[in-house]
Chains A and B, each alone.
Chain A
């Protein structure tokens, strides 16, 4: 979950404007979007509207799946990229790109002395620095960056709170050091380390990290009357101020032939996960972890390979739902509606899902098409999924489902990691060296679980309450 900021709102605005142009057959107007968002005589966020417009152009390119290296001619208009992408069904594997023009090259000085420094006689900052990194110049402390090791002692010692910590938000947020400065001082994502948690995209206050959007290809498929099926993640239920039935209805109005709740697939995940856990622990394995958060699976694959044997081999609800949907609607285009970008990566790897559309993109699409979610009291579409499967949207949901499924809990001792930060990664790394006092570990990369995903619209606590209320209202019972 991110705090609301203008970078997020601008992204939503751009998305809906792009989709609207596509729906109305006006792609040629794409080049106007930067001008519409930063009109003449309006306010600029950066030095001037021209810089803002240039940044917007590159952000739009990023959304369309092009980055600076695709720009062979700076004069190529935006609509050409849009058209090329649609005509060639161009999808790239790259999910995230950093827009260099937007990246502010945040100074990684870390500890900085501000002018609150009064140049006191005590000079505790200088005396307590073990690296001799502090000097005084014109009555104020300065930190020698070459010597400073960012221990933070000077900050603690200063009685005036004159020393501040200046973070690089994206680097700070990344749990696995996958984003770093390149030679030009701009941030760069190392795909071989990236676990697609999306934390950097939320953290960057300049909105410089752009996620490729596939929503346009889905819109095009529907325009061409291709049979298209929507698979919606359980977390969608809390995303709009209306009940799930109405949200599903809105997706049908967008032109989908059918809408399937991924909570149905979660039923299978629960059964398989429970059986696998029973089998493995009976055979002496000390614990098993969940596997439905793709970002966590990536973390293990790329950074904690020792933990791999402990990760459940059960597939995610998205996978099982897609299998079921393929049987029911052979040949249809499968679109997963997702709270996060890690699912985009999972879908790319898995091959069952054709496109992933984020909740945010869904909102932008509804806006572009002028769809209002109704006020009526429709229950969820097919109502095949039980309460426990719907709760997969929340942290602790998988554990809850597995626990309820197992007869008398079967000795399940669960532990939850609710949100992956640097700290959590460290403790996961240490896990293989000791015998923990739990035997079932649920890991969610996002705090609050899927309702806290980087592409959600509603605040997690609001979404949680809405999902819980809805289950009461429609009296959705436990399935198992």
Chain B
């Protein structure tokens, strides 16, 4: 089971994160029992040394900055076709 955590801190959420929730409708059925999508409060990447471009999404333990639905799906493909 892989968790997709979409940052819903204010910055990520309004700078594109809100749209990433649509990923559920775009994922192929083969992921149905492999993936759980959840929202989280600010992941802490919007400030400080580790600053990343919003929106931030975690796929499992891996961070995807400047995330798009496409990037996430590509990442999943890599994970599950190994």
Tell me the A residues contacting B by CB distance below 8 Å. Answer: 3-4, 9, 12-13, 16, 240-242, 360, 363-364, 366-367, 370-375, 457-459, 461-462
1/0 contact trace for B1-26 toward A, CB 8 Å?
00000101111011110110110010
Q: Name B21's contact: one of A364, A374, A375, A462 (CB within 8 Å).
A: A462
B7-63 interface (Cβ within 8 A of A): 8-11, 13-16, 18-19, 21-22, 25, 39, 41-42
**Interface residues, chain B, CB within 8 Å of chain A?**
6, 8-11, 13-16, 18-19, 21-22, 25, 39, 41-42
With contact pairs A241-B39, A462-B22 given, residues A366 and B15 touching in the complex (Cβ less than 8 Å)? no
Whether A375 contacts B19 by the Cβ 8 Å rule is no
Which A residues touch B22, using CB under 8 A?
Answer: 459, 461-462
A13-B10 contact given A461-B22, A462-B22, CB 8 Å threshold:
no
Complexed CA–CA distance, A9 and B41 (Å): 20
**Inter-chain contact B10/A4, CB cutoff 8 Å:** no
Interchain CB contact under 8 A, B10 and A12: no
Set B6, B13, B25: member contacting A363, Cβ < 8 A: B13
Q: Once the chains bind, are B14 and A458 in contact (CB under 8 Å)?
A: no
**Cα separation A461 to B23 with both chains bound (whole Å):** 12
Q: Is the CB of B10 within 8 A of A459?
A: no
Residues of A within 8 A of B14 (CB): 12, 16, 360, 363-364, 366-367, 457
> Main secondary structure on chain A at its contact with chain B?
loop
Asked if A9 and B10 sit within 8 Å, CB to CB, the answer is no
Closest 8 CB pairs of A and B: A241-B8, A241-B39, A363-B14, A4-B19, A462-B21, A367-B10, A457-B18, A459-B22
What CA separation (Å) do A458 and B22 show in the bound complex?
A: 9
Given contacts A458-B21, A461-B22, A462-B22, contact A373 B10 (CB under 8 A): yes
Complex interface: chain A residues within 8 A of B9 (CB) = 372
Q: How far is the CA of A372 from the CA of B42 in the complex (A)?
A: 8
Residues of B within 8 A of A371 (CB): 10
The answer to whether A372 touches B41, judged by C-beta atoms less than 8 angstroms apart, is yes
